[in-house]
Amino acid sequence: MCVTFLYLNADAVGDGSKYQLIVLNNRDENFDRPTSLAAWEGDVLAGRDQALPDEKGGTWLGIKSDGKVGILLSMLEKDSLMIPDAPTRGKIVNEYLHSDCTAEEYGQRIAKCAHIFNGFNVLLLDRTKQTNGQKAYRVVNFISRQDDATPETLGSGVYGFGNSLRRTPFKKVSYGARIFEEKIQQLNGQSKQEIFEQFIGILRDDTCHHPDEQLMSQTDQPEECSKAMSQLFFRFPPPFRYGTRSHTVILVDGLGHVDYLERSQIPPSKDFTNIHWVDSVYEFDIID
């Protein structure tokens, strides 16, 4: 489980007072799964899954120094549909960011081998030249486990992505995209920190959207877990140790300056009385 919201605005390119890209992401995962905080490794900034030592560099979200962004969301699936020995999906984003492929090229590549993985929803972002000669962001979205699934290219707009097909979004994704768009329209002279906190506020929204028929149709989890998953920010009831454990916000202004914030939960105590969050903050200029 994870959720991502994107804002792409080609008209902002060249204007340092506006944002050409905003990324919001929640990572939902087992609280005890070994994970590193966001950090640079070479020219890629990302948090990394350390549960599988033989699969170095696996990640759910990363950005490269040239502005490429990759984001991976798992599809919510019943246990009976899972492939027991499937390769880790975290390698997909890492491979894209380290490749020379465009988003469209890599989208076509992963579509050909998607069947070997458990279900996933991948977002591949890169910057392409427009008719005016300037580079603007686009996102290539590929969702597996569909008949004749093909990558879809999206331009400027506000989008929400979750653990289902785009045509059948979970309620929380539609809700989050709506309040995300409202916040974008209200941007007007706030400091970077204020903007970060406004967007973190969306990712920490715990409004319950249960019952969500689409969500419930995709899982065989107990209803109490389905109820929790209907929230953007959630934690399974005890004894489960699973829920939202990191928030990421990426801002890219029209001149290519990047501000990156990851707020991550340190694995809590068994009774959840000792919960701490740590910020990893970075900024850099995109290198063409």
pLDDT at 267: 85
Q: What are phi and psi of 217, to 5 degrees?
A: -75, -15
Q: Tell me if the domain spanning 2-285 has CATH number 3.60.60.10.
A: yes
pLDDT at 55: 64
| Long-range contacts from 94-102, C-beta under 8 angstroms, 24+ separation | 94/44, 94/46, 94/57, 94/58, 94/59, 94/62, 94/70, 96/68, 96/70, 96/122, 96/124, 97/44, 97/46, 97/62, 97/63, 97/64, 97/68, 97/70, 98/44, 98/57, 102/126, 102/128
pLDDT at 73: 98
Domain positions in the chain: 2-285
Q: What is the pLDDT of residues 69-101, one digit of tens each?
A: 999 999 999 999 999 999 999 999 999 999 999
pLDDT at 1: 82
Q: Report the alpha-carbon distance of residue 195 to residue 259 in Å, rounded.
A: 11
Which residues of the chain register pLDDT less than 50? none
Residue 278 forms beta bridges with which residues?
264
pLDDT at 273: 81
Q: Report the alpha-carbon distance of residue 251 to residue 102 in Å, rounded.
A: 21
Number of other CB atoms surrounding residue 171 within 10 Å: 19
> Rounded to two decimals, what is the model's pTM?
0.97
Q: Report the alpha-carbon distance of residue 257 to residue 148 in Å, rounded.
A: 38
pLDDT at 131: 82
pLDDT at 269: 81
Question: By three-state DSSP, how is residue 215 classified?
Answer: helix
